[in-house]
Amino acid sequence: MLVFTNTETRSKQPFKPLADSDVKLYTCGPTVYNFAHIGNFRAIVAYDLLKRWLAARGFRVNHVMNITDVDDKTIRGARAAGIPLSAFTARYTAAFFDDCAALRILKPDITPAATAHIPQMIALVRTLVDKEFAYVAGDGSVYFAIGKFPAYGRLSHLDRGGLRDGARVAQDEYDKDNVCDFVLWKAWTEDDGGVKWDSPWGPGRPGWHLECSVMAREYLGDTLDVHMGGEDLVFPHHENEIAQSEAATGKPFVRFWLHNAYLQVDGRKMSKSLGNFHTLRDILARGYTGREVRYLLLSAHYRQPLNFTFTGLHAARSALQRLDDLRANLARAASAAGEARPEAQAAVDAARAAWTAALDDDLNTSAALAALFDLVRQANVWLQDGAMQGGDARAVLAFMDEADKVLAVAGADDAAPEEVTRLAAERAEARAAKNWARADEVRKKLAELGFTVEDTPAGPRVKRL
């Protein structure tokens, strides 16, 4: 039985979409003001995992992920760069999708940009004003009155009394009825430069929380099956989304709230001042690959804090090479004749059952990987002692392929450089001639290029060190 931990109830609940097997999924996307860092990508990979597992379980997923292309940071960034907001955000939107591709993220069905939905946002604000859930302040900003929405705090379980002492509530929050009221429409100020849209309340721009309510509704309807995001978004972002959406529609906004935990770096929060801030690009530039980062991000349960280290990234590389090696060996063995032995079939079935149970249990990837690696060891034993039948290899490979539809880590990201391939061939010749000195010399050269070479019955195989 597929269960997810629902942040709203703080418990695991059996998952069933509202309509048959169609899942309406909304995930909070990036604010495109900079290159995304691996912490951001922990969330993105978690979304991808959810999607892939839902698909594996036979659901059709309709996935919407927003692109926040207007807010304080994007406006500030565009001004600093001296280019229009749209040009600025286009740059980082493209970079974001490139990074996603490197991480083998399936594209969402729709990735709506906030700036492309301003009329709908204005319409929602108008509805909220008409229904008296929102009020217009003196400067033309529109605020949501949380006092009018009794369920406020339902998701985050924060009691309103506690919110008053919030350390970051600005002292100059004029004009609000309640300090916790949040902005739906932000009146234009000089800092916004040319970024503004006309509205019934004067020029301005949408508040951040508004876009998700609007775009989720636009593409998925009033009630979503799953809404996912980082744990930091629980309050206020998601709380505010609930308030806006439910006040406007009178219907439940989200059935399952899923939140992923933070990524830590060297046991601490990732921050620029600590010098442990990594963008995906930085990591790729250091010679690691997207699938290695992906594997590392998948190696812990999404709701548990995960500690990122380069040691861990290297461990991911080793684990992936082990899977690659087995895959290559199985591919060769699979061409042999022979039915799968009952013993082998049983082992594969057991692995599949454990794998499924683990992922059904709130996407427990750690446990799922354990099931996979149990079978990996078993398969290696069969290869080792010559018991592997063609059918065995095909059965194991079939499961590995199935598992990889979810993990998406099989296959190297990049081929070895030509130079490396050439050296490997040269070394194979030297070995054939039993010129061991020359062979060792070439191997040393390869090591200098960051590669190692293995002699297998099928010929040399190069790997990254």
Partner RNA sequence: GGUGGCGUAGUCAAGUGGUUAAGACGAUGGUUUGCAAAACCAUUAUUCAUCGGUUCGAAUCCGAUCGCCACCUCCA
Residues of span 207-266 touching RNA by CB under 7 A: 207-208, 229-236, 260-264
Answer for which of 12, 107, 131, 157 binds RNA (CB under 7 A) is 157
The least CB distance from residue 19 to RNA, in Å, is 27
SS3 assignment, position 3:
strand
The least CB distance from residue 21 to RNA, in Å, is 26
Query: In the window 432-461, what residues touch RNA (CB under 7 A)?
Result: 436, 439-440, 443, 452-456
The least CB distance from residue 436 to RNA, in Å, is 4
Nearer CB in complex with RNA: 60/169: 169
Query: In the window 381-400, what residues touch RNA (CB under 7 A)?
Result: 381, 383-384
Spell out, one character per residue from 169 to 188, where the chain touches RNA: x when CB under 7 A holds, - when not: xx-------xxxxxx--x--
Nearer CB in complex with RNA: 42/217: 42
On the 0-12 / 13-18 / 19+ scale of CB atoms within 10 A, 395 is: buried
Answer for which of 12, 131, 286, 377 binds RNA (CB under 7 A) is 377
The least CB distance from residue 225 to RNA, in Å, is 19
Nearer CB in complex with RNA: 305/390: 305
Do 452 and 463 contact (CB within 8 A), yes or no? yes
Do 65 and 26 contact (CB within 8 A), yes or no? yes
The least CB distance from residue 301 to RNA, in Å, is 3
Do 375 and 369 contact (CB within 8 A), yes or no? no
Nearer CB in complex with RNA: 19/465: 465
- How many Cβ atoms from other residues are within 10 Å of residue 440's Cβ? 13
The least CB distance from residue 454 to RNA, in Å, is 4
Report the distance separating Cα 43 and Cα 28, nearest Å.
9
- Residue found by looking up tokens 């989720």 in the block: 216
DSSP 19: B
- Residue found by looking up tokens 């900003």 in the block: 141
Nearer CB in complex with RNA: 12/60: 12
SS3 assignment, position 279:
strand
CB within 8 Å of 266: residues ≥ 6 apart: 276, 307, 308, 309
- Beta 142-144 vs 134-136: how paired, if at all? antiparallel
The least CB distance from residue 55 to RNA, in Å, is 22
Backbone φ and ψ of 21, nearest 5°: -115, 15
Query: In the window 67-106, what residues touch RNA (CB under 7 A)?
Result: 71-73
Answer for which of 23, 25, 28, 50 binds RNA (CB under 7 A) is 28
The least CB distance from residue 459 to RNA, in Å, is 11
DSSP 146: G
- How many Cβ atoms from other residues are within 10 Å of residue 35's Cβ? 17
Do 142 and 184 contact (CB within 8 A), yes or no? yes
CB within 8 Å of 130: residues ≥ 6 apart: none
Do 448 and 441 contact (CB within 8 A), yes or no? no
- How many Cβ atoms from other residues are within 10 Å of residue 449's Cβ? 15
Residue 404 found at the interface with RNA (CB under 7 A): no
- How many Cβ atoms from other residues are within 10 Å of residue 72's Cβ? 14
Residue 373 found at the interface with RNA (CB under 7 A): yes
Answer for which of 5, 89, 156, 244 binds RNA (CB under 7 A) is 156
Answer for which of 3, 106, 137, 158 binds RNA (CB under 7 A) is 158
The least CB distance from residue 200 to RNA, in Å, is 21
- Beta 254-260 vs 224-230: how paired, if at all? parallel
Nearer CB in complex with RNA: 59/96: 96
The stretch near RNA (CB under 7 A) out of 77-85, 368-376, 386-394, 399-407 is 368-376
The stretch near RNA (CB under 7 A) out of 81-89, 120-128, 155-163, 335-343 is 155-163
Report the distance separating Cα 366 and Cα 360, nearest Å.
12
Residue 61 found at the interface with RNA (CB under 7 A): no
Rama region for 64: left / alpha / beta (φ>0; ψ in -120 to 50; rest):
beta
Do 308 and 292 contact (CB within 8 A), yes or no? no
Query: In the window 105-144, what residues touch RNA (CB under 7 A)?
Result: none
**Would you state the structure tokens that stand for residue 36, as one six-digit string?**
């995304």
CB within 8 Å of 182: residues ≥ 6 apart: 143, 144, 146, 207, 209, 236, 240
Nearer CB in complex with RNA: 19/274: 274
The least CB distance from residue 84 to RNA, in Å, is 20
The least CB distance from residue 463 to RNA, in Å, is 7
The least CB distance from residue 13 to RNA, in Å, is 16
Spell out, one character per residue from 266 to 305, where the chain touches RNA: x when CB under 7 A holds, - when not: -xxxx----------------------------xxx--xx
Answer for which of 216, 376, 400, 462 binds RNA (CB under 7 A) is 376
Spell out, one character per residue from 303 to 332, where the chain touches RNA: x when CB under 7 A holds, - when not: -xxxx-x-xx-xx--xx--x--xx------
